[in-house]
Amino acid sequence: MPTFAMPVRDATNQSERILSLWQGSWIAALAVGAITWGLILWPAIAFRRKRGATDLPPQTRYNLPIEVFYTAVPIIMIAVFFYFTARDEDRIMRVSSNPDHSVRTCSRMQSATAATKAIATIGLRLVSPSTMQPVMPQNAAR
């Protein structure tokens, strides 16, 4: 399956999960786009004015089933996308009880010193919370 412009495969140990979510999002977006274009073009072609006709087409009001459909379907689509995103985020953000690396950082923000400890597994890029710069793990080769 194509990566849909996702730049790197297997950059971290979470790449497959992220790529799967990315591909599913693109497939859903392309399907919604195709349906939308179909719903725009179909009435424009099927119900165009006939030659010589000067009257207005019949007007329909209060079509409740279609209005409920147009409201419910996007809500369901967003709920499904939220479910898959939350599921994958929960698995990606899970912290190991035996981390491969432990990083201790000391930072200064607004005249207060704060010591933080970052825990990560191999394959994740560690970033300092205060400077957003990459951090070298303590037991890594220099």
Chain segment 83-100, per-residue pLDDT in tens = 999 999 999 888 878 878
Would you state the pLDDT for residue 110? 61
Are 101 and 140 in contact by the 8 Å Cβ rule? The answer is yes
Within a domain: 6: no
Widest distance between CA atoms in the chain:
83
Q: Which pLDDT belongs to residue 138?
A: 55
The confidence score (pLDDT) of residue 107 equals 67
Note down the domain range covering 121: 96-142
Q: Are residues 44 and 62 in the same domain?
A: yes
pLDDT digits (tens, 9 = 90+) for 115-140: 555 544 444 455 555 555 555 555 55
**120 CB contacts (<8 Å, ≥6 apart)?**
99, 100, 101, 103, 126, 137
Could you give the CA distance from residue 118 to residue 106 in angstroms, rounded to a whole number?
Answer: 11
Q: Is residue 118 part of a domain?
A: yes
Q: Where residue 63 sits, what CATH number does that domain have? A: 1.10.287
Of 108 and 125, the structure prediction assigns the larger pLDDT to 108
Q: What is the chain's alpha carbon radius of gyration, rounded to the nearest angstrom? A: 26
Q: Alpha-carbon distance 123 to 14, whole Å?
A: 8
My answer on whether 46 and 73 are in the same domain is yes
How many Cα atoms are found within 13 Å in the side-chain-facing hemisphere of 19?
16
The share of the chain scoring above pLDDT 90, in percent, equals 33
Are residue 23 and residue 88 in the same domain, yes or no?
yes
Residues 24 and 87 in one domain: yes
